[in-house]
Structure 1
Amino acid sequence: MGNRGDIECWLTDMDGVLVHENHPVPGAAALLQQWRDEGKPYLVLTNNSIFTPRDLSARLKASGLDVPEDRIWTSALATADFLASQMPGGSAFVIGEAGITTALHEAGFIMTETNPDYVVIGETRNYSFEAITKAIRLIGSGSRFIVTNPDATGPSAEGPMPATGAVAALISKATGKEPYVVGKPNPMMFRSAMNKIGAHSENTGMIGDRMDTDIIAGIEAGLHTILVLTGISDQAEINRYPFRPDEILNSVADLVNAEPVESDAE
C-alpha cells in the first residue's frame, strides 16, 4: 500500500497501542504531539462502546495523554452514524451505557420500547435479564438487530469479562437472527472515521495491535496498516493469519520522528 511518507491522516487503536491498562505506552504522547505539530488529522479508535468521547478524553488525560474529545471515534459513534444514515430520526431500544445512548441521542434517534426500528446492543456492565428478554421479543416482532462491536470478552484487572459479543450471541441464539455488527473488524468503523476527518484510504495510515480486528479491517478499508507489538500480537500470532500488515513495529515510539520507510512487512 505505498509507503509511510504518503500518509496524511492517521487512525490509531487506543488500547494496546497508546495505552496499556491505563498507562501510556512509551512514545504515545510524543506521537500525538508530532501529529498536532504537523497538522495531521487523526482519530483514536476504540471498539468499547461504554464511554462517551468526553469520558475517554478525561481518562486518557489522567493517564498522561492529551486527546481532545473530537479526536476520539468509538464503535458507539460509528453505530449512531451508520443508523442515522440508514434511517434519519429513527427509533431504538438500547441495551448499553452512556457511550451508545448519548451517541444515538445526538444523532437524532428516539429511545423507545414500543415498536423500535432497531434493537441496539452495546457494551454494558449491568445486563438485566428483563432487558435482554425485551430485546429478544422486539427482534422477534421485526426490529432490526444491531450490535456496536463483536468483542466476546473484555479485559479487567481480575481477568476477562463477558462483553458485547457474548450478550449478542445469547440474543442470536434465542431469536435465530444474526446482528449487523458495526465495530472492528467491520471496515465500516474505519470508513466512518475517515468520513469524520475528511480522509481518503490511499493517504491514511492505521495503527493497531490485533491482527483479527485492526489489521484485517484496515486492509479491507484500503489503508496503510501498521501492527505494533505492544498489545497482544507476537510473531507466532502474526504467522497464523493469511494476510500481512504493511509494517510491523515494536511500538508507536518507532513512528516518532521516524524517517518514512518503504514497507518491510514482507
Structure 2
Amino acid sequence: MRILPEGWKAYLIDLDGTLYHGPQMIPGADELISTLRAKRIPFLFVTNNSSRTPEEVAVHLETMGISARAEEVCTSAVAAARYIAEDQPGCKVAAIGEAGLIKALNEAGLQLVQEQPDVVVQGIDRQFTYDTLTRAARWIRGGARYVLTNPDLLLPSQEGLMPGAGTLSAAIQAASGVKPKVIGKPAAPLMDFAIARLGLAASEVAVIGDNLHTDIAAGVNAGCGTILALTGVTTVDNLPEYVKSSGVEANMVCRDLKEVRERICGTNQ
C-alpha cells in the first residue's frame, strides 16, 4: 500500500461541517471522495450522529452527490453497540435513542428491555421526556452501567441549534450522580472502532474534520494524525481561539477541501 503524506495510509472523515452543512454539500466534498476512490486510498466516514443507520447516512451523502456505501460509515451508535456487546455479550439494555441506535443494538445481539437493564445506553432522543429521565436515573442509581453514544451539547438544524445527546446526558448525570462511558468524539472508542475496521495502526491513519474540540481532539486521543479543514466550526478567524480552548493543534490545516485533496492525494486537478 502506498505511503501517503506524513506516513498516513488511510483517513477517517467527519461529516457535518466537513463534507456538508445539513442538506448542502460543502464544495469539493464529492471530488475529495472520488479522488480517494480513484487512487484506492482507504477511508471511512465517521460520525457522532447516533440517530441514523449507516444505510441512511450513505443515502444522505449520495443524495448530495457524494459517493458513499453503508459499509464505509461508522456511527457512534454502532460503535456503542459493539462496545457493549464485546464487554457484556447478550446483556439486557435499555435504549434511550432513535432508529440508528435501536438497529445497532439489535444487530449486536443485545436484549432490548424496558425494565431492570444491565446497561442504559443513550444517544440523541427527540422524544425525550421527564418520564424517560426518571426511569434512566433510577436504573443507573440502581446499578446499571451508563453508556453515552456522544457528548455533543448542540446540533445544527435548518431552524437553528437544537439540544444534542450531551445535553440530555447532563440531566441524566445530574439525576443519577453517575458519569457515562463516552463512545463518540472526542473520546477514543469510536475512533478505535473505525481504526480496527481499517486494519491499520492508529499512527497510519489521519482524521479529517472541522472541529478542534471533537474531530481533532478525538484523533489526538486515539493516536492518529489530524487534518483540520476550515469548512465548518473552525475558521481562519477563530482558529487561534479554538486552539487555545481545545488545547490541541492539527498536524495539517487546510483552508478548504480542495486543499485537503491536493495535499493528501497529490493532485491539483
TM-score normalised according to structure 1 size: 0.93
Question: What is the alpha-carbon distance in structure 2 between the residues aligned to residue 36 and residue 72 of structure 1?
Answer: 15
Map 1:163-202 → 2, pairs under 5 A: 163-202=164-203
Corresponding residue number in structure 1 for 2:247: 242
> 5 Å matches for 1:140-179?
140-179=141-180
1:53 Cα deviation after fit: 0.6
Q: Are 1:28 and 2:32 counterparts?
A: no
Superposed CA deviations along residues 142-183 of structure 1, whole A, max 9, x for unmatched, are 111111000111111222111111111111111111111110
Match runs of 1:63-82 below 5 Å: 63-82=64-83
What is the match of residue 41 of structure 2? 40
Instruction: Count residues in correspondence.
Output: 260
Q: Which position in structure 2 is the counterpart of 1:219? A: 220
1:255 aligns to what? 260
1:67, 1:258 → 2: CA distance? Answer: 22
How far apart are the structure 1 equivalents of 2:130 and 2:24? Answer: 35
Deviates more, 1:223-232 or 1:38-47: 38-47
| Aligned-CA RMSD value | 1.7
Residue 15 of structure 1 and its aligned partner are, at CA, apart by 0.7
Partner of 2:104: 103
Q: Is the 8 A contact 1:31 1:253 kept in 2?
A: yes
Q: Give distance in 2, aligned partners of 1:150 and 1:259.
A: 30
Name 1:123's counterpart in structure 2.
124
* Contact 2:5–2:263 (CA under 8 A) maintained in structure 1: no
Deviations 1:49-81 (A, max 9, x none): 000011111111111111101111111011011
Q: Which runs of 5+ in 1 are unaligned?
A: 262-266
Aligned to 2:208, the other structure's residue is in SS state strand
State the distance in 2 between where 1:259 and 1:184 align.
23
Q: Distance in 2 between matches of 1:3 and 1:38?
A: 11
Report if aligned partners of 2:229, 2:260 keep a CA contact under 8 Å in 1: no
1:17 is matched with: 18
Contact 1:5 1:260 in 2 (8 A): no
Q: Is the 8 A contact 1:17 1:251 kept in 2?
A: no
Q: Which runs of 4+ in 1 moved over 4 A?
A: none
Amino acid at match of 1:158: E
Relative to structure 1, is the Cα distance of residues 242 and 135 closer, same or farther in structure 2, using a 3 angstrom cutoff?
closer
Query: What does residue 63 of structure 2 align with?
Result: 62
- Structure 1 pair 127–75 and aligned structure 2 pair: CA distance change class (3 A): same
What SS does the corresponding residue of 1:127 show, helix, strand or coil? Answer: coil
How far residue 237 of structure 1 moved from its aligned partner, in angstroms, is: 3.0
Q: Could you tell me whether the CA contact under 8 Å between 2:154 and 2:167 is conserved in 1?
A: yes
Structure-2 residue corresponding to 1:264: none
Q: Percent identity?
A: 35
Q: Deviations over 1:131-150 (max 9, x none)?
A: 22111111121111111000
Show the 5 A alignment for 1:203-218. 203-218=204-219
Partners of 1:139 and 1:242 in 2: CA distance? 32
Answer whether contact 1:8 1:203 (CA < 8 A) is retained. yes
Alpha-carbon distance between aligned partners in 2 of 1:198 and 1:143, rounded to the nearest angstrom: 33
Q: Which has the higher contact order (CA 8 A, sep 6+)?
A: 1
Asked if 1 retains the 8 angstrom alpha-carbon contact of 2:39 and 2:265, the reply is: no
Give the superposition deviation at 1:119: 0.5
User: What is the match of residue 6 of structure 1?
Assistant: 7
CA change 1:58–1:260 in 2 (3 A) is closer
Question: 1:18-73 deviations in whole A, cap 9, x for unaligned?
Answer: 11222111111111111212222211111110000111111111111111011111
Paired position in structure 2 for 1:233: 234
Q: Separation in 2 of the partners of 1:51 and 1:72?
A: 11
Normalised TM-score (structure 2): 0.92
Letter aligned with residue 15 of structure 1: D
CA shift, 1:17, in A, is: 0.8
